[in-house]
Amino acid sequence: MNLLPLIVAKRRGEALSAAAIDAFVAAVSDGSAPDYQISALLMAIVFQGMTEAETTALTRAMAASGEQHDWSTLPRPTVDKHSTGGVGDKLSLVLAPLVACLGAAVPMLSGRGLGFTGGTLDKLESVPGLATRLDTARFRRLVETLGCAFIGQSEGIAPADRRLYALRDVTGTVESLPLIVSSILSKKIAAGPSALVIDLKVGRGAFMPDLEAARALGAALRHTAGAFGRRCEVVYTRMDAPLGRAVGNRPELLEAIQLLRGQGPATLRELVLALAVPMLRLARGGDPNALAAECDAALDDGRALARFAEVLAAQGGRMDVTRDDAGLPAPAATETLRAAADGVLPAPDARAVGELCVALGAGRARAEDAVDPAAGIVFLEDWGASVRAGQAIARVEASDASRAARCAEALAPLLTPDPVAAPASAPLLGVEDERGFRALGRLSELLGGMGR
């Protein structure tokens, strides 16, 4: 297909018709449009933007470019969570079984990490034997019987997005609101949940550096999801420092298991509830404080952990959640980092930690790179803790000793103790729901403000 008329129209600032957008996406999917014309159109969209109607049409066409799931016959409501990506973000591993054991179904579609941000699929694949390429029948059976299953974004789901994203990545056209909205939502619309909670990360380790830009994206996501009849809430969460104490695939999986045991860092648990409560509220309705109490109980009495173990075993994973190391293969080398002085442990920069993890082998610089499942960094104290010179503050885990030592050396300046404590920052920044945007910092404010 010749995209020239569409390129010229968009360059002039004209809105494209739904039929033109359908033809464009068809030409992306069937390979009949050349990369240079697709890229030129993408660049014109970056400069001229798209109307709401165009964004909806693009999302619809991209979702329809591959297989689409329909869960309407399922006896329980479906809901998913999407995170815009960060460092140490293992929340999906906890949320899916937690929400599933409280009566909603979570057909979770997960991605791989790229650059300094991690991906849920890579974390899951640190479990030996675990299959994330499930055929549709098996995926559906697991969601029907266990309430959740983890699959990767297969060839089948929104294939047009894969070609478009690969071109955006190399042509400087990622940063466009309609392109981001259609990319995120086409995959979620195709995966079929009736409700969606977006964890929109904001800060130095996120692709949205400030709340103002994030709010524009959040509002556009909510609006476009609504055009498909999907209820959607956006929770804005801080991503300046890594989430929790573990970064890397195996380390994060182990921290997720701790959370599912009712343990783990308090701020991570707060984030789990800040996302689980809106998920359950959209799926089932109910008083937010009562839903939070249900989440607390399922984490503390082992139901969420049991469901996680069941789902992973059903997907072929071999692990033992009763053990602290879950029986997963241990890293070949570790290096302990010790505090350089007495003082207060600072919150390290999330992006810098993410980049160190890529160098360690835990992440990938290019999409085709393999990851080392056991590599990562485990912080041994919370940010803001008082530490003494010589005290162990972090452990680097890697496949060889020299890589681990190089990483520990590069990590040291990020963890130089401060003489005085910096004020702790709240994990939440705001929420966008049917009442619009509200700024808030803590879970208690979220619970207090919901449903009133």
User: Does 110 engage in binding with ligand URA (CB under 6 A)?
Assistant: no
Residue 184 touching ligand URA (CB under 6 A): yes
Nearer to ligand URA, 98 or 190 (CB): 190
Q: Whole-number minimum distance, CB 111 to ligand URA, in Å?
A: 7
- Told to judge if 223 belongs to the known catalytic residues of this protein, a careful annotator would answer no
Task: Quote the CA–CA distance of 107 and 113 in Å, as a whole number.
Answer: 19
Comparing CB distances to ligand URA, the nearer of 14 and 155 is: 155
Interaction between residue 249 and ligand URA (CB under 6 A): no
Q: Does 358 bind ligand URA (CB under 6 A)?
A: no
Torsion of CA 270, 218, 70, 109, to 10 degrees: -60
Minimal distance in Å, beta carbon 18 to ligand URA? 21
Residue 209 · residue 258 · CB < 8 Å = no
Binding status of residue 164 toward ligand URA by CB under 6 A: no
Q: Which is nearer to ligand URA, 153 or 258 (CB)?
A: 153
Would residue 169 show up in a list of annotated catalytic residues for this protein?
no
State yes or no: residue 63 binds ligand URA (CB under 6 A).
no
**Structure-block tokens of residue 15:** 């809105």
Of the candidates 345, 369, 368, the residue with the CA atom closest to the CA atom of residue 357: 369
> Which residues does 35 contact at the CB level (< 8 Å), separation at least 6?
167
65 binds ligand URA (CB under 6 A): no
- Residue closest to 81 by CA, chosen among 214, 253, 234: 234
Q: Is 180 in the site for ligand URA (CB under 6 A)?
A: yes
Q: Does 117 bind ligand URA (CB under 6 A)?
A: no
Amino acid symbol at 327: G
Complex with ligand URA: residue 157 or 277, whichever CB lies closer: 157
Residue entry with tokens 């809106």: 278
> Which is nearer to ligand URA, 351 or 395 (by Cβ)?
351
Name the catalytic one among 168, 201, 281, 403. 168
Long-range contacts of 68-75 (CB under 8 A, 24+ apart): 68/189, 68/190, 68/192, 69/107, 69/136, 69/140, 69/190, 69/191, 69/192, 70/192, 71/105, 71/107, 71/143, 71/192, 71/193, 71/194, 72/194, 74/105, 74/143, 74/144
In the complex, least distance from residue 228 CB atom to ligand URA, rounded to whole angstroms: 16
**Cβ 180 to ligand URA shortest distance, Å:** 4
- Under the binding rule (CB under 6 A), the answer on residue 132 touching ligand URA is no
Rounded to whole angstroms, how far apart are CA atoms 129 and 120?
16
CA gap 109, 122 in Å, rounded: 13
Part of the chain binding ligand URA (CB under 6 A), chosen from 16-24, 71-79, 90-98, 176-184: 176-184
Catalytic, out of 10, 60, 69, 82:
82
Q: How far does Cα 253 stand from its chain's mean position? A: 14
Dihedral Cα 32, 38, 39, 43, nearest 10 deg = 170
191 binds ligand URA (CB under 6 A): no
| 444 catalytic per annotation | no
Q: How many residues bind ligand URA (CB under 6 A)?
A: 7
- The DSSP bridge pattern shows strands 376-379 and 333-338 to be unpaired
Taking the C-alpha atoms of residue 248 and residue 364, their distance in angstroms, rounded to an integer, is: 11
Minimal CB distance to ligand URA: which residue? Answer: 183
Site string for ligand URA, 73-102 (x = CB under 6 A): -----------x------------------
Residue 239: DSSP 8-state: -
Choose between 58 and 184: whose C-beta lies nearer to ligand URA: 184
The yes or no reply on residue 198 touching ligand URA (CB under 6 A) is no
Contact region with ligand URA (CB under 6 A), list: 51-59, 173-181, 225-233, 287-295: 173-181
Residue 365 has a CB neighbour count (10 Å cut-off) of 12
CA distance 295 to 174: 36
Please count the other Cβ atoms lying within 10 Å of the Cβ belonging to residue 82: 24
Q: Is position 183 an interface residue for ligand URA (rule: CB under 6 A)?
A: yes
Residue 161: active-site member: yes
Active site residue 307: no
196 counts as binding ligand URA under rule CB under 6 A = no
Tokens of 16: 């494209």
Question: Interacting stretch for ligand URA, rule CB under 6 A, among 123-131, 172-180, 338-346, 406-414?
Answer: 172-180
Could you tell me the CA-to-CA distances from 387 to 49, 220, 252, 264, 421 in Å, in that order? Answer: 50, 44, 24, 20, 11
Q: Which of residues 255-314 bind ligand URA (CB under 6 A)?
A: none
Where are the extended beta strands (E) located within 346-387?
Answer: 376-379, 386-387
- Choose the catalytic residue: 29, 65, 83, 183: 183
**Contact status, residue 325 vs residue 254, Cβ threshold 8 Å:** yes
Between 168 and 250, CB nearer to ligand URA: 168
Contact residues: ligand URA, CB under 6 A: 84, 165, 174, 179-180, 183-184
Q: Which residues are catalytic?
A: 82, 161, 168, 183, 187
